[in-house]
Amino acid sequence: MTLEIITVDALAPLRHGFFTRRGGASSGVFEGLNCGTGSSDQHEAVTINRTRVAEAMGVPLKHLMGVHQIHSADVVTVTQASPDKPKADGLVTATPGLALSVLSADCQPVLFADHEAGVIGATHAGWKGALSGVLESTLDAMEALGATRANIHAVIGPSISQRAYEVGPEFFDDFIAKDPAFARFFVQGTGDRMLFDLPALGLHRLREAGVGHAEWTRNCTYSDPDRFYSYRRTTHNKEADYGRLIAAITL
């Protein structure tokens, strides 16, 4: 089965993509293109899936770079291929031939490019990372490599949408304590529950940080099980584990 790759004009002509779950070798609850080495999926299947992604990106598997994601604001600069996966949630590079990648299953995968400077980035931005500044940290790291914020295009890939992201009052209180203006990202749900708009938070943070262009692909991971993995949907279905989607970009 052919891989399904969501691409965006704002990142072209750089090779990039938000990969859906279609076209992979995994089976069971992981059926499709599960690229999560930390999942309980068969190692061989995940390796096949990641190899297919690397081929689609035009790089050898060892050049498909990633990080050990920890919901932080930490970003690393990659200058050469390495099997190491440092604990961080973003990567940047100005080195051609390396594909930067992040994994997600409701959190925001964000791809960045300054075409003029030849600098790219990839970031995993869940609510914790977005609130603590991982998007801004990515921009800082890109600037250190010669990028200019006004020239950076940032695209948020498939993420959980507001209609599927129900949270409790403590969650809302944590955001309001950070900034009362963040109330704009919530609407009233049932009872004391609220519905949280993660992609809107991401777009706000990116635009406030001064990027030249920011957009969301408008794909909801929770609401489209045929195309996307979703941690929250898996939890609601009481399944044992879930697959991880991959997003990648290369110079």
Domains plus CATH for the chain? 5-158+214-250 (3.60.140.10)
Can you give the pLDDT at residue 246?
98
Q: pLDDT tens, 11-35?
A: 999 999 999 999 999 999 999 999 9
Look at residue 249 and tell me whether its pLDDT is greater than 80: yes
Look at residue 208 and tell me whether its pLDDT is greater than 70: yes
Look at residue 106 and tell me whether its pLDDT is greater than 90: yes
Query: Which range has the worst mean pLDDT, 3-7, 142-146, 188-192, 197-201?
Result: 188-192
Look at residue 189 and tell me whether its pLDDT is greater than 70: yes
- Model confidence, pTM: 0.97
Burial label for 93, CB within 10 Å (0-12, 13-18, 19+), is buried
Q: Residue 240 — pLDDT band, cuts 50, 70, 90?
A: confident
How far apart, in Å, are the Cα atoms of 120 and each of 30, 133, 156? 30, 18, 14
Look at residue 94 and tell me whether its pLDDT is greater than 90: yes
Q: What is the mean pLDDT of the chain?
A: 96
Question: Mean pLDDT, to the nearest integer, of 191-207?
Answer: 97
Q: pLDDT tens, 54-88?
A: 999 999 999 999 999 999 999 999 999 999 999 99
**59: phi > 0 → left, psi -120 to 50 → alpha, else beta; which?**
beta
Can you give the pLDDT at residue 1?
65
Question: Mean pLDDT, to the nearest integer, of 165-194?
Answer: 94
Query: Which are the contacts of 183, defined by CB distance < 8 A and separation ≥ 6?
Result: 172, 175, 176
Q: pLDDT tens, 136-178?
A: 999 999 999 999 999 999 999 999 999 999 999 999 999 999 9
Look at residue 210 and tell me whether its pLDDT is greater than 90: yes
Question: Mean pLDDT, to the nearest integer, of 28-48?
Answer: 94
3-class DSSP string for the chain: CCCCEECCHHHCCCEEEEECCCCCCECHHHCECCCCCCCCCCHHHHHHHHHHHHHHHCCCHHHEECCECCCCCCEEECCCCCCCCCECCEEEECCCCCEEEEEECCCEEEEEEECCCCEEEEEEECHHHHHHCHHHHHHHHHHHCCCCHHHEEEEECCECCHHHCEECHHHHHHHHHHCHHHHHHEEECCCCCEEECHHHHHHHHHHHCCCCEEEECCCECCCCCCCCCCHHHHHHCCCCCCCCEEEEEEC
